[in-house]
Each structure stands twice: as C-alpha cells, then as structure tokens.
Structure 1
Amino acid sequence: MPARKDIDGSESVPAFYGKELRWKREAAGRTLQETVEGSYFGVSYLSEIERGERRMPLELARHVDRFLDTDGFFERRCADVQKARKGAHAEYFVPVLEAEPRARIIEEWNSALIPGLLQVRAYTQAVIHSTHPLDLPEEVDAKIDARLQRAKLFDNPKKPEYWTILHESLLWESILPPEAMAEQLDHIAALAKHRRIVPQVLLWNAPTRPFMDLSLMFMEFDDAPPLMYTEGSYHGQCIDDPALVKLYRKAYDRLRAAALPPEASLAMIEEAAEDYRNGMPRHGLEHR
C-alpha cells in the first residue's frame, strides 16, 4: 500500500479544512467508510475533501458535524472554503475550478464564445463588458485575472489533454476589433502548434441546431467518474450522473465527427487571423 500523502494545510483554505477533517476523523477512531454512512456521499468524495481537492458541501458538513460531534465546526467553515475557491468567479462555476486541475482530458464545444481557457485578455474583457456592463473597473480586472489564471493548466506539457470544437461563426463574427481578434486567433493557433490543444472547426452549415445555444464541457479523471458542465450567460450546471453524461457525450462525439480535421481547422484559424491583420476578414459565407 502506498504511503499516505501528508497535506499541507497552509496551501489553501480547502486544504486547511481538509486536513482538519482528517485529524478529527482519525482522532475519533473513524474510517472514511464509517464517516460517510448515512449520507449521500461516497468514500472517494470524502477522501478528496480531506486532500483539499474538493470543497465540502453544506449537507455533508452538517452530517460530519453530527457524526464526529464537532459542534457545527465544518458547517460554519463551509462559506470560507467556498469563498476561497470562488474568487472572482461565479458561484455556480466553483465545481469546475475544483475539477479542472485534476482532469486528465478536457473537451469543449461552444457555438457562442471562444472557451474561457483559450481567451486572451481583450476577449475576456469584451465578454465581461457585454454580460456585466455595470461592473466597476476593479471588478472587471479581477474577473479577467481569474479567468487567465485558469489557463495556467497549459503550462504543464503533459496534462490535461485538451480538445475543443469551435463553431465557424466564432472565427468570422468577431466581438473584437480586427487587430485584437487576430491576436486571439494567433493564441489558439500557438497552443495548437505547441500541441497543448487540439482545435476543430465545425462549419457554419453543419447539423448543429440542437446545440446552437448549449455549451458542453467534459472532464475525465484518473480516479473519478467523468463530469460534464454546461452554462448560459448567467447560470451553469455540473452533471455527474453517468447515464446523462453518456448521452451528452454521444452528442458531442457526433459534433466532433462532423467537424473539420485538426490540421484543416488550424489552417482555417490561421487564415482568419491573417485576414484580420489585413483588415476586416470576409464574412464566413462569402469566404466559402
């Protein structure tokens, strides 16, 4: 049996409370299995909390407080942990922030916006100005920094394996001035050339109608079931029900099968970037 990893409680608020949970559980002489009995949560879920990889849901905190007789300690601290994870992100996005660093594979489809992990500062700023026009400058800067921080995932040359399907309209119907849009597309192309991402473009006349307004994000892990996330402008939802994830996964695979191969997609992205550098690119329909 491999040695148990010691947790540095100073790394983050979730790590601090995860280490505290392990200490209190072991001091009470309870196993992981005994601690989750009577709750809706599994052993692996509780173990991830103890390792600081997940925040503790309120209902589980209440269960643990009752089981370990900790006088409401974990229930009172749930808000602290959630705030630490959330930062400048929306509350509904917290599960994604927890899952992304652990993901072995991330796959995304989007027809409305370039995915957040691929956005440059100017693109993120344009999205925030559009969706939250009353945000103060410091609030906008905090949201931009938080989104760009997520992209540090690509600093690791091995993980995650990232695939994305982009609707062709994202290349030609820009929310940025031409020069800034060229920079955004150059960024995507550079990540692809460095083999950190695999982009595919779904042409404007491909059969996408059922998913025109629905973004899809799938994450696979080495030691946990797959997770799916979908969102709109002001809401998001994580889905971990295996049967439902499987249905959406099949739909995503059909979109990927209809998309251009990665090499042709990269060529189209680079061509669009060059067109933006030379002025407004041709409209997608005219381009074709």
Structure 2
Amino acid sequence: MRSDRAARSLAIDGLAILADTVATLLEAGIVPEVAWAYLAEAGNDPLAVAVGRAVARGESVVAAIVHGGDAPSRRVKEARAVLAAAWWVASESGAPLAACLRACADSFRGQGDTERDIAVALAGPVLTARMVSILPLVGLLFGAVLGFDTVGALTGSPVGWGLLIGGVLLMGLGAAWNRMLVRRATQTNGDRAIELELLSVALSGGAAIAVARELVAEATRRFLPGGAEAGSTVDHVLQLSARAGIPAGGLLRSEADRRRRESRSAGQTAASTLAVRLMLPLGLCVLPSFMFLGVAPLVLVIVSSTFATL
C-alpha cells in the first residue's frame, strides 16, 4: 500500500513537471500544438505522447488530456481532469495558458508533497499493524514447535472447533478493521481549492464575474463532476474584492492556498492519530484471536493429557 502511494505521488510530480515544461515552451512563443508535438517526440511521458499524437490527428488538447494513453490511478486521473479543466477555462476565457499551467503545476506539487507526508507518517503504524495481525498464527505454530498437538486440540472437540472458528473470525475482523482505518487515514476530499483556482484563471482572462462563474460551473460539470463546491467561499471573496476595490484573482488564489494547507494538515493529523486508532483492533480482535488460537489450545492439550493419566 505504501508503494502504491509513493508511485501515485511520483506520477503527480511528473504531471507537475509536464505542466511546467509546456508552460516554458508557451512562454518562449511556441504554440500549444507544436509544444505538445515536441514533448511527444521526446517520449518521456505517456500523457505527453498521447496528447501529441491526438493533436497531430486534429483532436483537442483537452480531450487528449482527459483520456490519456495509459491507465493511471484514480488520484492521478483526477489531477489530469483538473489540468484539462484549467486548460479549457483558460482557452474559453482568453487567460494566459502559461500562467494557468504554472498554477496547476504548483497545485500538483503540493498534492504530491501531501501524499508523501502521509505515506511517511503511516509507514510505522501500518507495518506494526501487519506484524501484530499475524500473532495468532505465530502462537499456533509456536505450540506445534513445542511438541503440542495444537491443531488436533482445535479440531478434536466442539470446544476446540469453537476456539478455531472464533479465532479465525476475530483475526479476519481485525485485519479488515486495520485496512478500513488505514483507508480512512489516506482518504482525501480531492482538491477543495479547484473552483477558486479556475475562477481566478477565468478572471485573469478579462471575463466578467458572471461569465467567469458560468465558465467555471461548466468546466466543473464537464471535467470534475465530483469536485468540491466552494460557492459560499467564492461569494465571500468576491464581496471582499468589491468592497476593497481590488482584483479578485489574488484573493481567490490566497484562499485556494489556505484550503490546500488545511487539507495537508488534516491528512497529516489523520495519519498521526492512526497509531492510536490501530490499538482498537489490536485489543479487541488480534489479542483475543491470539488467546483462542495460541494459548487456549495449549491449555486444552495440557488439561486433556492430565486427565488421561489419571
């Protein structure tokens, strides 16, 4: 699981590098179609190759970014959808594509950093949970090594069968509980700042606020159907911009940065508290399972052998 998170964060970092590279080419005066063709010729990134080939066939850049040419993870696919939405909004509003891509690259780098921080914080608790979860089997094997017929004790009487079934069920329940806790600790709510970023992009192209909000709503519907809503926050920022008489773009970007910092902090907190939460399945499932499969059979063997000698 940790390797999956590491690979995913590296893929998102690669997407950030790709966005930065395209932005650099655009700033040098190269048109988008030629920029993607250059990157496709290099062949270093599967998405760049897919987009370059699609553009050569006359297809749109946005559709090529969404579909890509590989099968990325869900989080990487969502990040690509964000890039496609930003590209579409910038194209429709007339905003500078290079600046838009730089903002996307910064967002992707932050997302990769967050996932790496969470992976590091989870490494110890997850490894501990995996090691502890095999304690019941260790106890069962330990009894067999000592010369006790623990398997026979578990399968030779109704009491033994009850211990075996109960121990296996508790061990399975503890493993499932551990996986659920880890999954919840690694879950994120997506990019909670994307609507703010897209609106900032649309406004930087000179679109009126109403038009910009319509563009963002359309982009969200087309590319980010599961995106987080930020309607009340957007209204508050726009009202503050109107009262202060300053452009809303800077305020929107500042609010987006604040939301991302909060999301990163929440992820780190969830990962840090996982070590404590994992004590619940350990105490309620794993240790009783160890008693059922590792200790109780020894007691049964000793008691039965004692009565047999009387």
TM-score tier, shorter chain, comes to under 0.3
| TM-score of the superposed pair, with normalisation by structure 1 | 0.24
Q: Which has the higher contact order (CA 8 A, sep 6+)?
A: 2
- What's the TM-score once normalised by structure 2's chain length? 0.23
Give the helix-richer structure, 1 or 2: 2
